[in-house]
Structure 1
């Protein structure tokens, strides 16, 4: 029974080429612009309006709100961001943690590059096909469309 469990769990670690894997976003997406709107003295409701509901409020230290973000793309490396907002006497005091610069580019950059390469490949195939127009620009060398 133990051997069967080990064999089955080992299969989940394999990454088969060409198999679609979904992107898994978890947590709160906090940007530098959002943090820039925070000002000392803001109420918890105002902070919640700017950043959204925190993922975790520690019951032992309710003056700290946690905004983690973990993004595991189907292909590529996991990206993590942790922001902690601190309150003093019931009002916003300061925050800690680093916002990932250009977060969306980091998590979608590889996928965008792959998509661009596929589009280029399709254009090359279309242009090299027999009877293809001389230019790939829309409206150029098409019958009935005046050239500029």
Structure 2
């Protein structure tokens, strides 16, 4: 029992001081408001696909319906989503359902939680580029 405690205790102490970085997760079609505003009823499927790209969901049971779905879950935050549904009749766009559509720019705001703040760090002397090559004493070729 004592040896088990000795093995577990360092792991618990080490884990308690570490934080876990959670990544941002994006999935789906990224649509901006400017693209969606260009949609007009009467457009062909090809015109819509050229403007918005192919939809994420193509339901085989509803061939006349295209769903553009995008979801964004910031690391450690609440998920956000947008949904645009297009309906076609005889190959032309007949209805645009924007009820659940929000601009991609409103949804996407990546987080930097858990990352060091590099903007506030000073690099000393204001030089942010790579260091120049060093020339050895007595001439010769520079070394990196």
Q: Report the TM-score when normalising by structure 1.
A: 0.59
Q: What is residue 29 of structure 1 aligned with on the other side?
A: 30
Q: Once the two structures are superposed, what CA deviation does each residue of 1:119-142 show, in whole Å capped at 9, x if it has no partner?
A: 68657xx9xxxxx9xxxxx7xxxx
User: Quick check: which has more Rg, 1 or 2?
Assistant: 2
Whole-angstrom CA distance in 2 between matches of 1:89 and 1:81: 27
Residue segments in structure 2 that go unaligned for 5+ positions in a row: 1-16, 127-144
C-alpha RMSD over aligned residues: 3.0
Q: What is residue 100 of structure 1 aligned with on the other side?
A: 102
1:66-105 equivalences in 2 (<5 Å): 66-97=67-98, 98-101=100-103, 103-105=104-106
Q: What is the aligned residue count?
A: 110
Residue segments in structure 1 that go unaligned for 5+ positions in a row: 1-15, 127-131, 133-137, 139-148
More RCO (CA 8 Å, sep 6+): 2
Whole-angstrom CA distance in 1 between matches of 2:18 and 2:71: 24
More helix by share: 1
1:77 CA displacement? 1.1
Q: Report the TM-score when normalising by structure 2.
A: 0.61
